């Protein structure tokens, strides 16, 4: 049995749903299908999830909802009309959104979660109806009835372990199960969503629960590339990589697969294949537990901006017991998680994601570190990017770090931070954001262009 997940662009229009149906028809083992909400049809289009966020904000602000609601309904109407589905399908979709809108608004985040989830829920209803019309017996699956239980964190819920046992019974279904991605329910029956892009996570949970032979993740690119094709011209296609490599690459910008989605598949050792709905015959990229070592120790290079550093120095820091714990406690009090902590003898930097910071938080952190930890110098600086070289086998390759730093030196950029060692499969460089692109290009040249491959 295979679990297939189709992303937003695969469900963006009637033509795309036809492709999805063909893909499912071609392989009888594709028995569980997870769907996203309709995504962008063209550059500059708006995803249904974003339309729903606008709708929910309007509803919460007491503003006019007719305009934003019409935009959402129009997307489904166009799809159901063009597929020739009977009117009852669209009537159910409309009724569902009206019910979500009339639900309790006293907790805005939960209200917004309920509205956002409507994107995938109705996408699943429409696809199930269409597959049935095409004579492919299928069934819309309600995640609550199926038992997808989540923790009580709005917008970033996590799966509860008992879900796996409950969802396993989907294996017994005769029909093709169409399961909406992105959301589930708490033990008390309240709807919660995963992070954005979270339908990948639903697919992985289902694949693990039914012990699928393969989790196919259909998107709009043929494979995972060794570097961002928007920056590097014609990067090579990665045919096979390990879960760990994918995790490291998605950490810094490879958005083709949600990083939280790896864990369920990894735990059950279910291979994941990234495939293209628009070119389903392309082999795609396989993500597996172990792979044979390739000649090139580097599998891919990712880069992402949006990082800041909290720099702290204090004379004799290395001898002060509990210094690190106290510093991290201050961050915990501000609900901030950290990314890396490169350290010297009398100083350390904590690398943070910008989106967790705000001017008032920064001020409180700096004041507390100065007064409570009696630091000599404390400051927070933004504008950093992380460039990450990823590859199993990198650790055993002599001279690899030297080649990487040489390549970066050729760009004239300064390396602000290096982190190697804690992870066996990656080498992380903290650089200034404005140097990110040229560094990525030069590293790609160093490790992937034939003229440079050593």
Between the alpha carbon of residue 58 and those of residues 52, 71, 76, 115, the distances in Å are 10, 13, 20, 12
Distant-in-sequence, close-in-space partners of 136: CB < 8 Å, separation ≥ 6: 21, 24, 25, 176
Cα torsion angle, 400, 403, 408, 414, sign: positive
Task: Using the minimum distance from each CB to ligand ASP, give the nearer residue, 128 or 365.
Answer: 128
Give min distance, CB of 15 to ligand ASP, in A: 19
| Smallest distance, ligand ASP to C-beta of residue 5, A | 8
Q: Closest distance between ligand ASP and the C-beta of residue 241, in Å? A: 21
Here's the x/- map for ligand ASP, 165-194, by CB under 6 A: it reads as ----------------xx------------
Residue 121 or residue 446: which is nearer to ligand ASP going by CB?
A: 121
For the chain, what is the radius of gyration of the CA atoms? Answer: 24
Residue 193 CB, nearest distance to ligand ASP (Å)?
A: 8
Q: How far is the CB of 179 from ligand ASP (least distance, A)?
A: 13
Which ranges in 304-377 belong to alpha helices (H)?
323-333, 359-372
Q: How far is the CB of 75 from ligand ASP (least distance, A)?
A: 12
Read off the tokens for 263.
């864990």
Measured from the CB of residue 13, what is the shortest distance to ligand ASP in angstroms? 15
Closest approach, Cβ 202 to ligand ASP, in A, equals 8
Query: Sign of dihedral through CA atoms 403, 293, 216, 208?
Result: negative
User: Under the criterion CB under 6 A, does residue 119 sit at the interface with ligand ASP?
Assistant: yes
Residues 322-361 that bind ligand ASP (CB under 6 A): none
Q: Which helix (H) or strand (E) holds 124?
A: helix 108-133
Residue number with CB closer to ligand ASP (120 or 446): 120
Stretch of 196-204, 237-245, 402-410, 444-452 contacting ligand ASP, by CB under 6 A: 196-204
Site string for ligand ASP, 20-39 (x = CB under 6 A): ----------------xx--
* Strand pairing class (240-242; 272-276): unpaired
Q: Residue 150 has which token pair?
A: 């989540």
Q: How far is the CB of 154 from ligand ASP (least distance, A)?
A: 14
Q: How far, CA to CA in Å, does 429 sit from each of 338, 390, 419, 438?
A: 16, 12, 7, 13
Judged on CB neighbours under 10 Å (0-12, 13-18, 19+), 347 is middle
Q: Which stretch binds ligand ASP (CB under 6 A): 21-29, 102-110, 195-203, 344-352?
A: 195-203
Encode 50-70: b = buried (16+ Cβ within 10 Å), e = exposed: bbbbbbbebbeeeeebeebbe
Give the residue with the Cβ less far from ligand ASP, 38 or 391: 38
Closer to ligand ASP by Cβ: residue 115 or 431:
115
Other C-beta atoms lying within 10 Å of the C-beta of residue 98 = 11
Site size with ligand ASP, rule: CB under 6 A: 13
Measured CA to CA, the distance from residue 424 to residue 34 in angstroms comes to 33
* Beta bridge mates, 285: 274
Using the rule CB under 6 A, which residue among 112, 163, 199, 419 binds ligand ASP?
199
- CB nearer to ligand ASP: give 353 or 433: 353
Stretch that binds ligand ASP, among 66-74, 159-167, 197-205, 428-436 (CB under 6 A): 197-205
Burial of 271 (0-12, 13-18, 19+ CB in 10 A): middle
412 to 451, contacts with ligand ASP by CB under 6 A?
none
CB of 199 to ligand ASP, least distance (A): 3
Binding to ligand ASP in span 47-106, by CB under 6 A: 47, 49
Q: Which of residues 218-247 bind ligand ASP (CB under 6 A)?
A: none
Q: Which residues of this protein are in contact with ligand ASP, per CB under 6 A?
A: 8, 36-37, 47, 49, 119-120, 181-182, 196-199
């Amino acid at each position: 049995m295979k679990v297939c997940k189709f992303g937003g662009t695969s469900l963006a229009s009637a033509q795309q749903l036809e492709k999805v149906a063909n893909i499912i028809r071609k392989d009888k083992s594709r028995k569980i299908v997870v769907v996203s909400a309709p995504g962008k049809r063209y550059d500059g289009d708006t995803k249904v999830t974003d339309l729903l966020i606008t709708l929910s904000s309007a509803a919460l602000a007491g503003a006019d909802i007719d305009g934003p609601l019409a935009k959402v309904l129009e997307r489904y109407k166009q799809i159901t009309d063009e597929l020739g589905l009977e009117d009852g399908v669209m009537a159910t979709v409309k009724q569902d959104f009206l019910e979500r809108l009339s639900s309790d608004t006293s907790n805005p985040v939960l209200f917004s979660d309920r509205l956002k989830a409507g994107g995938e829920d109705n996408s699943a209803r429409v696809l199930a109806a269409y597959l049935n019309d095409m004579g492919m017996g299928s069934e819309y699956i309600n995640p609550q009835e199926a038992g997808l239980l989540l923790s009580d964190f709005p917008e970033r819920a996590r799966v509860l372990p008992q879900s796996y046992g409950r969802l396993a019974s989907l294996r017994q279904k005769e029909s093709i199960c169409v399961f909406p991605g992105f959301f589930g329910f708490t033990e008390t029956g309240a709807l919660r969503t995963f992070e954005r892009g979270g339908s990948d996570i639903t697919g992985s949970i289902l694949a693990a629960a039914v012990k699928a032979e393969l989790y196919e993740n259909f998107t709009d690119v043929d494979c995972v590339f060794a570097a961002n094709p928007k920056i590097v011209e014609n990067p090579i296609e990665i045919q096979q990589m390990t879960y760990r490599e994918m995790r490291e690459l998605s950490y810094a910008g490879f958005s083709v697969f949600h990083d939280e989605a790896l864990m369920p598949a990894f735990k059950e050792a279910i291979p994941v294949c990234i495939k293209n709905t628009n070119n389903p015959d392309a082999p795609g990229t396989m993500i597996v537990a172990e792979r044979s070592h390739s000649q090139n120790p580097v599998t891919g290079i990712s880069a992402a901006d949006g990082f800041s550093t909290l720099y702290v120095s204090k004379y004799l820091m290395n001898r002060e017991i509990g210094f690190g714990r106290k510093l991290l406690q201050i961050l915990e009090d501000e609900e901030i998680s950290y990314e890396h902590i490169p350290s010297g003898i009398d100083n350390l930097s904590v690398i943070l994601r910008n989106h967790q910071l705000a001017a008032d938080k920064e001020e409180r952190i700096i004041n507390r570190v100065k007064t409570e930890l009696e630091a000599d110098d404390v400051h927070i600086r933004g504008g950093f990017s992380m460039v990450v070289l990823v590859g199993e086998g990198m650790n055993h390759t002599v001279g690899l770090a030297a080649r990487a730093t040489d390549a970066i030196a050729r760009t004239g950029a300064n390396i602000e931070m290096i982190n190697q060692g804690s992870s066996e499969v990656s080498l992380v460089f903290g650089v200034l954001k404005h140097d990110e692109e040229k560094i990525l290009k030069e590293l790609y040249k160093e490790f992937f262009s034939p003229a440079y491959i050593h």
